[in-house]
Amino acid sequence: MISIRKAVSDLDKLEELSRTAVSCYTQAVRSAEVHAIDVDPALVSHFRAQLQLLETRLEETVNSRELQEVQEGFDTELRAYQEKTRNKIEQLRKDMQAAKEAVEALANSITGSESDLDVDLKQELQRLNRLSDCDSLQEIREGIHKATARIAASFEQMRSCNRIAIAQMRDEIRLLHQEIQEAKKRPEPVVVVESQRKINSHVEDLQKRGAAFSVLLVVVNNLEGLRNCYSVELIENGLKSFERRLSGTVPDALMVGRWSSEQFAAVMEATPKNAMALCQQVTKTLSAPFVELGAGKPEALKFLVKAGVTDFRPGSDASKFQAKIQQLAMALSA
């Protein structure tokens, strides 16, 4: 009898250790996803998507063989991402070196040309000064012709240098615009990714329990314009105040957080009886100015806000709920 109890106890311990191992491994995969070095937006986005698939597989593991397969997949993804990231960094180094050499060559050519032009012009001016004391008309004519030809050639060379400099400036402006566009495509900050993960996890838990719930989605439609007028720190402080005010406006919400850089979500236990009235109240409250301290003085931030509600009913397709939220977000962003 004692041996049976001991065997049962050992089995319970093994099961607990198995659950703990899966949980710890899931956290390790999640940490790798959240803290992945952002070298290329498309590259890190693909890496995170692959790790999310591994997380899903971890939740479904039932034996050591499946856990070993996930480990092998995790190791493969890490090595592939490391190699691609290393290649990307190496390419960036080469591009930087090539750009540096090109700029140095341009600067040296312009500096050298300006120096040569300065010497040539001074020589021709000296030639003209000497001709002013000359008594030979023929010598004066020949000297003037030579001086004007050299000055004209120097002027053309100067114009050529200016064209090169202007072309370089245009290229720099093009690269600057390209960097701005790339910045717009960058993945969400880690804080936003973690907030969205918590909301998704809570939503999935409610779906597994078969509970009825709804999501109030709030979209800020003028964030890009505000970024052109205010500092990043000021806007982030304003968005934190925005989240706190939203939480106070929907006190019965199960969870409130950032859904993306421009979107906020409040998970509610059931669909509000008057969802339209709630959306109007939330929009009115969050549209009021937020006063934040920036550069030693208070600044008033006014967010352009739209809100909407989508619900989940027990028995409906859980896989389609994320699509419903995305459709709502697109409608509110229009």
180 shares its domain with 199: no
119 shares its domain with 88: yes
158 shares its domain with 195: no
pLDDT value of residue 51: 73
* pLDDT confidence bin for 220, thresholds 50/70/90: very high
202 shares its domain with 129: no
Domain count, the chain: 2
Of 153, 186, 219, the last residue of a domain is 186
Amino acid at 68: Q
**Residue-range definition of the domain harbouring residue 41:** 1-186
24 shares its domain with 163: yes
DSSP 21-54: HHHHHHHHHHHHHHT---S-HHHHHHHHHHHHHH
Of 166, 186, 206, the last residue of a domain is 186
What average pLDDT does the segment 229-254 reach? 88
* pLDDT confidence bin for 329, thresholds 50/70/90: confident
Q: Please state whether the predicted TM-score (pTM) of the whole model is above 0.85.
A: no
pLDDT value of residue 88: 76
92 shares its domain with 65: yes
Give per-residue pLDDT as tens, 17-38: 566 666 766 777 777 766 666 6
Of 128, 158, 186, the last residue of a domain is 186
**Distances in whole angstroms, Cα of residue 231 to Cα of each of 154, 186, 236, 245, 295:** 47, 18, 9, 21, 9
49 shares its domain with 170: yes
**Does the pLDDT value for residue 283 go beyond 60?**
yes
149 shares its domain with 284: no
Q: Does residue 274 sit in helix, strand or coil?
A: coil
What average pLDDT does the segment 218-240 reach? 86
Give per-residue pLDDT as tens, 168-218: 667 766 766 665 565 555 555 556 778 888 888 888 888 888 888 999 999
In contact, 226 and 244? CB cutoff 8 Å: no
Adjacency order of strands within the sheet including 263-268: 255-258, 263-268, 213-220, 305-312
Question: What CATH number corresponds to the domain at position 233?
Answer: 3.30.70.270
Separation CA 147–CA 126 (nearest Å): 10
Instruction: Tell me the torsion sign for CA atoms 152, 158, 160, 166.
Output: negative
Query: Mean pLDDT over all residues of the chain?
Result: 75
Q: Where are the alpha helices (DSSP H) in the chain?
A: 2-34, 41-59, 64-131, 137-185, 190-208, 223-227, 232-249, 275-287, 321-333
219 shares its domain with 90: no
Separation CA 289–CA 303 (nearest Å): 7
pLDDT value of residue 76: 80
In contact, 124 and 151? CB cutoff 8 Å: yes
pLDDT value of residue 307: 93
What's the alpha-carbon Rg for the chain, to the nearest Å? 33
What average pLDDT does the segment 51-63 reach? 72
Residues 6+ apart with CB under 8 A from 33: 47, 48, 51, 52, 55
**Does the pLDDT value for residue 46 go beyond 70?**
yes
202 shares its domain with 246: yes
4 shares its domain with 136: yes
162 shares its domain with 289: no
Give per-residue pLDDT as tens, 127-180: 666 666 666 666 666 666 676 777 677 667 667 666 666 666 677 667 666 655
- CA 174 distance to own-chain centroid: 20
pLDDT value of residue 27: 73
Give me the residues paired with residue 307 across strands.
Answer: 218
